Chain A
Amino acid sequence: MRSSELVIIGAGPAGMAAAATAAAHGLSVTLLDEQPRAGGQIYRDVERVAAKRGTILGPDYTYGTTLVEGIGRGGITHLAGAVVWAIEEGFRISYTQDGVAAQVSADRVLLATGALERPMPIPGWTLPGVMTAGAGQIMMKQSGILPRRAVLAGAGPLLYLVAAQMVRAGTPPLALVETQTRGDLLKAARHAGGALRGWPYLAKGMKLLAELRRAGVPRFAGASGLAVQGEGRAEAVAFRRGGTDHRIACDTVLLHHGVVPNTQAARSLDVPHRWDAGQACFVPVVDDWGLTGVDGVSVAGDGAGIGGAKAAELAGRIAALGIAHALGRIPRERRDAQAVPLRRALSRELAARPFIDAAYPPFADAISPADATIICRCEEVTAGDIRGYAGLGCLGPNQAKAFGRSGMGPCQGRYCGLAVTSLLAEANGRTMEDTGYYRIRPPLKPVTLGELAAMETPKTNTEKVETGT
């Protein structure tokens, strides 16, 4: 079995930066990532793509090449295309690469698993042609493929960025249908101080909006009653705004109302989580160094709370310093001293967050969808079904699994978990924290018997591995 002092899961900004910092302090690092090339979602395939489409995607994307270069140094083994499906305390990490299961042991684990799009259950969101805005951007980055007739719907700065990138590529979206309201902006105003400290983010946002205005992309803000219409595929987006019903015919709908930490791996290790009301999501409880309540497990980047790519990079470096200290590679004073400039930069990066979170809150209709709306895409469980379970005494998501299989499909609750929790919380008059979240157990991703059979593993481990399937 391969062995490293530190195993990092996820080669996005947090994971790449942490790997480089840890290796610089003499740690042996194995960096596992599902994608064929490093970058995570934000810098997806950046080393290959920067030269081809850097102008369309912009400097914030091409910046990622510096991070990819940083993991080329000695001491770091980057296992690309490695899908992690189990993390056992001790630590033993099981993954599949090229159809073969394998394991790596580690003294410490850093989870840099990033974010997922917040589930956005609206009528028609399961139709072919409906994707997340992040998916649209991933296709643009990795594949150079753009939807010709797209409507972007939801809330958040990512919609402006994707729309502007589409404009630059010569296929502007047909419209932006935005769910945030003037009232949200007023509420956000109390975070204006932070917004001013984080002014570069606001300046970027204004620049993107100006770009969209110049391109003549129509924007409909304050939309409600959002629905995707179509027979067997997306054909139009319908919504209400200012007492008027609108319908925009299109082929592709890109949905987005924020991203949330991908907590699957952390939860599988029983890392304690808490509800973050400002970001409307569960986050793992971590200290200043990204250390969790589980000995030897750290979390950094968006997986520990949404802060964006630059914040993730800084948090990755800080977490790596914490780990280097825990392994006795640097004394406390040096760790603290090296973290000072990183923390200062991190605080600047996060300054505008409360304003952005308040100005672009989750879409209310998708937090409490109509009964007929599908919540669990995999098992086709509706909002009405979930409310029905609550009526029968179902208090939490784990019970909901038993009532109607929600969260038991292949995505393992990644795109229904938060929605199920909020529906049960609402129906039962309980808090999100008390309602809780799905219990996550390995395998984190499906693993086939063939992949297991091909695994090279010490004899003593065989029995345990097989029962884990």
Chain B
Amino acid sequence: MKTVSPFLELEDDDRVPVRFAGRTLDLPDGANLAAALLAAGVQVFRHTAVSGAPRAPFCMMGACFECLVEIDGVVRQACMTDVREGMEISRPHESEAEDAIE
């Protein structure tokens, strides 16, 4: 499913399907996962443990840890991860049932 994205993609690379929060997204193969999710219209990557506030990528260089997502069961920084076909991605510490792409 393609949602309207606040981001423009300059190139149209080969895409592969991944799962994010229970939905299938087609992302550019080998691309930076954080950037690819943003371009696909994902706006909330996780919620904070303290107040439940929504967060999304901030530094894109592995320093801020705002883009943490759960990938195939391991919580990782999306901005330090490349897109691979079939990745199962979810917001950390949230069940898929509660998730929705904003």
Contact = CB atoms under 8 A, between A and B. Distances in A.
A36 B31 CA distance: 11
A41 interface: yes
Interface stretch (B15-23, B54-62, B93-101): B54-62
B8 A148 contact: yes
Interface residues on B, range: 35 or more
Contacts of B8: 145-148, 169-171
Interface residues of A, number: 48
Given A53-B10, A143-B39, A414-B64, A380 B51 contact: yes
A128 B59 contact: no
Nearest to A379: B50
A134 B59 contact: yes
A377 B58 contact: yes
A126 B53 contact: yes
Interface in B26-71: 28, 31-32, 35-36, 38-39, 43-45, 48, 50-51, 53-66, 68
A143 B79 CA distance: 11
A169 B39 CA distance: 16
A440 interface: no
A103 interface: no
A445 B39 CA distance: 27
Contacts of A171: 8
B44 A415 contact: no
B55 A128 contact: yes
Contact of B61 (A41, A146, A147, A169): A41
Nearest to A409: B65
Nearest to A262: B63
A128 B7 CA distance: 13
Contact of B9 (A144, A377, A414): A144
A117 B74 CA distance: 28
Contact of A116 (B32, B63, B80): B63
A139 B60 contact: yes
Given A34-B80, A448-B74, A415 B63 contact: yes
B14 interface: no
Interface string A12-39: 0000000000000000000000101000
Contacts of A146: 7-8, 10
Given A135-B59, A410-B65, A233 B82 contact: no
Contacts of B51: 380
Interface in A143-161: 143-149
B53 A144 contact: no
A130 interface: yes
Contact of B59 (A83, A170, A415): A415
B58 A135 contact: yes
Contacts of A73: none
Given A135-B61, A411-B63, A380 B10 contact: no
A19 B43 CA distance: 39
Interface string A121-147: 000001111111011001100111111
B10 A149 contact: no
Contacts of B9: 144-145
A323 to B, nearest CB: 26
Given A380-B48, A409-B65, A138 B60 contact: yes
A142 B32 contact: yes
Given A142-B32, A143-B39, A126 B63 contact: no
Contacts of A131: 57-60
Nearest to B68: A410
Contact of B31 (A134, A143, A445): A143
A4 interface: no
A56 to B, nearest CB: 8
A148 B7 contact: yes
Contacts of A127: 54
Nearest to B53: A126
A135 B55 CA distance: 15
Most chain A CB inside 10 Å of its own CB: which residue of B5, B10, B63, B102: B63
Interface of B: 5-11, 28, 31-32, 35-36, 38-39, 43-45, 48, 50-51, 53-66, 68, 74, 80, 82, 102
Q: Which 6 A-B pairs have the closest CB atoms?
A: A128-B56, A251-B6, A135-B60, A143-B35, A410-B65, A144-B10
Given A131-B59, A145-B7, A148-B7, 4 more contacts: A131-B58, A139-B38, A143-B39, A379-B50
25 contacts: A116-B59, A126-B53, A128-B54, A131-B60, A134-B59, A134-B60, A135-B60, A138-B61, A143-B31, A143-B39, A145-B8, A145-B10, A145-B35, A146-B10, A170-B8, A232-B44, A232-B102, A233-B102, A252-B6, A262-B63, A377-B55, A377-B64, A379-B50, A415-B59, A448-B74
